[in-house]
Amino acid sequence: MIIDCHGHYTTAPGPHSAWRARQLAAFREGRPAPGYPAISDDEIRESIEQNQLRLLRERGADITIFSPRASAMAHHEGDERVSTEWARACNDLIGRVTGLFPETFIGVCQLPQSPGAPLDASVAELERCVTELGFVGCNLNPDPSGGWWTSPPLTDRYWYPIFEKMTELDVPAMVHVSASSNPVFHATGAHYINADTTAFMQLIQGDLFADFPDLRLVIPHGGGAVPYHWGRYRGLADMLGKPPLSEHVMKNVFFDTCVYHQPGIDLLCQVIDPGNILFGSEMVGAVRGIDPETGHHFDDTKRYIDAAALPDADRANIYSGNARRVYPRLDKALRERGL
């Protein structure tokens, strides 16, 4: 079985995105949000069947852990109320996808974060999505300001309410920023990768997993710069007087395989324990073209994992075993289906 831990609904029906634009316009004008549009099951089916589902089948994966479009979370737009309405709309839409394609998609939610706002609304929305919509995790944005980095580090007590709820529900978070409103940071070329690197270093500096020994965080995009600079991080942990990374951080932190060329995946598999790697593609995402060097899509990451020098047991864990361990509610759903 192959589980893609990193899929976003980047192909959501037009009326959904159009509503967001109208919602933000209403906010700017001091009006309440307009009513959410009717979107038919057929519209949703079509948007999935022609894109994610087609590619899953072509490429040979089975299940996608599916969440709202990351770049559209845009927690820096509007205020907490706006983020709450938008997160709810996005999560409900994911809920409809998972209802229409229950064998293939399982949900992960967007949180209604807002710069400077407490996390109460995020805690409530996580609980709603897990208990009512059957979701198995959340995307947590370490920088809801959209590139201005005004929130405290992830190890700060500001974040503890969401970590407490995650622990209670036994769901992980993928640490994933959204669009950048700072012109220095290209969203998918700089902000995403920087956030991954930044989050990992915060976890080295702090001692979050002493307070939350069961907390699990997935750092996407292959862990940002971390595996490439693994010696730097091992050395910095040592200089900071921390235990080895395998004890200090890597019992709780996992990297996905959204690294879009073979040498990068080879490095990832070489330096990171295969037990900490989850298959992911973020397909129909940041990089949609075909690599002229291979003739295949950059984000067809299964090809790289298939070609990596890995024992079969490790490859199987990367493809599904680790995801079932990190997302126990996914594992439970699969077992109920006899899988």
Asked if residue 133 binds its own copies (CB under 8 A), the reply is: no
Give the single-character DSSP code of 154: T
- Residue 9, sorted as left (phi over 0), alpha (psi -120 to 50) or beta, turns out to be beta
Asked if residue 57 binds its own copies (CB under 8 A), the reply is: no
Give the nearer residue to its own copies in terms of CB position, either 36 or 160. Answer: 160
Give the nearer residue to its own copies in terms of CB position, either 142 or 280. Answer: 142
CB of 249 to its own copies, least distance (A): 12
Asked if residue 257 binds its own copies (CB under 8 A), the reply is: no
Asked if residue 193 binds its own copies (CB under 8 A), the reply is: yes
- Residue given tokens 């994933």 in the structure block: 176
Asked if residue 280 binds its own copies (CB under 8 A), the reply is: no
Q: Which of 12, 65, 70, 204 binds its own copies (CB under 8 A)?
A: 204
Enumerate residues 6+ apart whose C-beta is below 8 A from 9.
47, 52, 66, 67, 68, 69, 90, 93, 94, 97
Region binding its own copies by CB under 8 A among candidate stretches 41-49, 110-118, 119-127, 288-296: 288-296
Fill in the amino acid letter for 247: E
3-state SS assignment for residue 63: strand
Establish whether 293 is a catalytic residue: no
Asked if residue 296 binds its own copies (CB under 8 A), the reply is: no
Asked if residue 256 binds its own copies (CB under 8 A), the reply is: no
Give the nearer residue to its own copies in terms of CB position, either 105 or 192. Answer: 192
HEC states along 313-327?
Answer: HHHHHHHHHHHHHHC
Of 177, 72, 165, 174, nearest to 119 by C-alpha is 165
Report how many helices (DSSP H) and strands (DSSP E) the chain contains, helices first. 15, 9
Q: Segment 163-192, which members bind its own copies (CB under 8 A)?
A: 182-186, 188-190
What one-character-per-residue DSSP string does 288-301 give? -SB-TTTSSBTT-H
CA 238 and chain centroid, separation:
29
Asked if residue 159 binds its own copies (CB under 8 A), the reply is: no
CB of 108 to its own copies, least distance (A): 22
Asked if residue 255 binds its own copies (CB under 8 A), the reply is: no
Q: Which of 132, 168, 282, 293 is catalytic?
A: 282
Distance CA 190, CA 173 (A): 21
CB of 39 to its own copies, least distance (A): 28
Asked if residue 235 binds its own copies (CB under 8 A), the reply is: yes
Q: Which of 92, 164, 170, 291 binds its own copies (CB under 8 A)?
A: 291
Tell me the number of residues near its own copies by CB under 8 A.
57
Distance CA 313, CA 125 (A): 37
Q: Which of 102, 152, 213, 243 binds its own copies (CB under 8 A)?
A: 152
Distance CA 18, CA 36 (A): 10
Give the nearer residue to its own copies in terms of CB position, either 36 or 158. Answer: 158
Q: Which residues of 155-175 are buried (b: 16+ CB within 10 A; e: fewer)?
A: beeebeebbebbbebebbbbb
* Active-site annotation, residues: 282
* Footprint of its own copies (CB under 8 A): 142-143, 147-149, 151-153, 182-186, 188-190, 193-194, 197-198, 201-202, 204-205, 221-222, 224-225, 227-236, 238-239, 259-261, 263-264, 266-267, 270-271, 286-289, 291, 293, 298-299
